[in-house]
Structures are given as C-alpha cells and as structure tokens.
Amino acid sequence: MKRFYKTVSVQPRDGGSVVLLDGRVLKTPARAEMVLPTRALAEAVAAEWDAQQTKIAPLQMPLTRLAATAIDRVAADPAPTMQDILRYGSTDLLSYRVAEPAGLAARQVAVWQPLLDWFRQRFDIQLQVTTGIVAVPQAADMPVRLTRICDALDAMRLTALHAATTITGSVVLGLAMLERHQAAAAAHAAGLLDELYQAEQWGEDDEARQRRAALLAELQAVEIFLECLSRPEGTDLH
C-alpha cells in the first residue's frame, strides 16, 4: 500500500489519545478508532506512521499491530488470549531442563531458577521442574491463579503479556517483562538459552542469527509498548 497521507499528529480523545493522518483518526483493521490509553503510546504509534516512506510496511510498525490486536481482538473477547497464556503455563519453557551436557544444565539452573523463584514469590505459583521431554504435572490451582492475574490486566497489557509469552515460550518470562523484572534483551537470552549455548559450542549460520535478531526486535517492541502504557502523561518517552 502506498503512503496516502502527508501529515501525522496526535490529539486527545475520549480519555486517551488518537493518531491523526491528515486530520483523520487512525483506525484499526476492523475499522474501530484507535483510541490509545496514553499520549506516550499515541506518539510512539504516530512515529511509526510518520517513518513510512513511499510504501507502508506493516511489519515495521509493531506498536501499531499490538494496539490494533488489543482493540480488535483482545478487548472484544479476551478468553482465547487468556487460554493461550494458560497453555504456556502448563508447559513453560523454564520447567524443562537437561541432565547433559553439564555446562548447559548448569546454565539453565543459573539463569532459569532465579526467575522461577521470583515467579513463586511474586505470584505464589510454584512451577514444577523436570529433566527430559515428558510433561511434568503442575499444581491443580495453577490455571486458576494465572487466570486471576490475566483478569486483572486491561486489553493492552494482556496483549503485551501474550506477545512476550509466545515469543519467549514462557509465561514466567512474559510476566517478568510485564512487571519490569526483566528487560527484553535478558528475556530474549533466557528464552533462547539452549540455542545460544549450542551456537557457542558448534557455531551458527546467518539465518539463525537473523531469526534471533527478529525475535529480539519483537520483544523490544513489547518492552516499548509497556513503557508507553505506564508513562505518566506529559512526560517524554526518551
């Protein structure tokens, strides 16, 4: 799609802010007005649209995609998103360890166990850990506790949690980002710990590096999205 607008601006609207393209309110794919809860997020979304050149490249607008998903899908029906997050809780990446090689096993303990300890202390959820690929049963009340956490989130934050969880393969890492306990780069490294260890031992190709870089960029977008949601009105994002 060719760029069809000349000017991009931000305006207060309905307790939030909207992005204007040539004075017209930006809409979601479902044609809803994209009313954003903070001016910081509206300005970040506006910057994505302003950065487009001759053609609009949606893949270069991750904040716009997250906001549109929250408005069109999650706000309308949060249940599928919550159910997806619960599935990750039952098979969380951090619950599955290796016995060998010893170096990888030690690194998993060093990186993942503190996160599980934080998760237990913060949310009173103890995830069981196992070695091997056979599924380990989790506490019967774990889905109920995770559901309560998700119920307390608005559509924007639930969308961000889902994105971080699916990118890393871990609801623990997703919540660590949501709670600002872990930055995107650290969550990315924890989620790809096994792959990074193997790359250190055996080397890697450009395709693997590019894939990891793309995943990191997605996580960093989630991080910016969350920062914009929590930034007090009237303060500069930078």
Domain chopping of the chain, boundaries: 8-52, 79-230
The class of domain 79-230 in CATH terms is mainly alpha
pLDDT at 238 over 70: no
pLDDT at residue 216 greater than cutoff 60: yes
Q: Give the pTM.
A: 0.94
CATH of domain 8-52: 3.30.2180.10
pLDDT digits (tens, 9 = 90+) for 48-96: 999 999 999 999 999 999 999 999 999 999 999 999 999 999 999 999 9
Long-range pairs for 73-76 at CB < 8 Å and ≥24 separation?
A: 74/155, 74/158, 74/159, 74/162, 75/155
Reported confidence tier of residue 133, pLDDT bands at 50, 70, 90: confident
Check residue 134 and give its pLDDT. Answer: 83
Q: What percent of the chain has pLDDT over 70?
A: 97
- With 90 as the cut, is the pLDDT of residue 10 above it? yes
Mean pLDDT of 128-136: 88
